[in-house]
Amino acid sequence: MAGIELLPLEASDRNQFILDNQEAFNYGAMTEFGLRDDHFEEPGEIISRETIEKSIDGGEAYRIMLNSKPVGGVIIKAEGSHGELDILFVSPKVHSKGIGYAAWCAVEKLHPEVKVWETVTPYFEKRNIHFYVNRCGFHIVEFFNSHHPDPNDPDMAEQTDEQFPEGMFRFEKVIQQDY
């Protein structure tokens, strides 16, 4: 999509980035398809300020810009040939316009050294599942739940039980080599 770019998150925009992220996640979980998730990380918020701040501090945070206006954000970690998508959000005001997909394509171009990307999403997030699988080319490779917690994230077992008792999908995208 023309007009989409990723700009590194500026310290002066950090608070608004967090608020925009929370608005987008709350909209997806509680408004868009009716209340489907009431497992809040903090009162009234599907994703807590603390979770977003940890993600920003531990990764690379970018504002998704459309024609020089902020319309979302993305937080990634890239280490060698492996990358993790921690958070990707688009303002509900501009959903279904190809912005998320364009932002994802920009992430891949930003880190051409990454050959395997991964992310997780709650099992009930049909919009996310559609986006990752059908638009971005990810594959569901694992289902974390109380009987099968993420072995690489011991804290996730508790989070899965408390916030997402029905479980989380893990997705991977293997970047095909150009010959």
Instruction: Write down the pTM of the prediction.
Output: 0.83
Residue 160: the pLDDT is 47
CB atoms within 10 A of CB 146: 12
Burial 92-103 (b: 16+ CB within 10 A, else e): beebeeebbebb
CB atoms within 10 A of CB 153: 12
In the predicted model, is pLDDT for residue 64 greater than 80? Answer: yes
131: pLDDT confidence band, cut at 50, 70 and 90? very high
Q: Could you tell me the CA-to-CA distances from 102 to 26, 46, 71, 152, 179 in Å, in that order?
A: 22, 25, 12, 30, 24
Longest dimension (CA), the chain: 51
The secondary element (H helix, E strand) that includes residue 101 is helix 99-110
Residue 27: the pLDDT is 82
36: pLDDT confidence band, cut at 50, 70 and 90? very low
Domains within the chain, CATH numbers bracketed: 4-174 (3.40.630.30)
Residue 18: the pLDDT is 96
Q: What is the mean pLDDT of residues 38-51?
A: 67
60: pLDDT confidence band, cut at 50, 70 and 90? very high
**Listed residue (155, 165, 176) closest to 51, CA to CA:** 155
Instruction: Decide the pairing of beta strands 168-174 and 69-79.
Output: unpaired
State the Cα–Cα distance between residues 87 and 62, nearest whole angstrom: 10
- Is 35 or 12 the better-scoring residue by pLDDT? 12
Sign of CA dihedral 84, 145, 131, 52: negative
**Listed residue (121, 118, 112, 92) closest to 176, CA to CA:** 112
Q: What is the mean pLDDT of residues 130-147?
A: 87
User: Minimum mean pLDDT among 10-14, 72-76, 92-96: which range?
Assistant: 92-96
Residue 134: the pLDDT is 95
Average pLDDT, the chain: 84
The three-point CA angle 11-95-114 to 5° equals 60
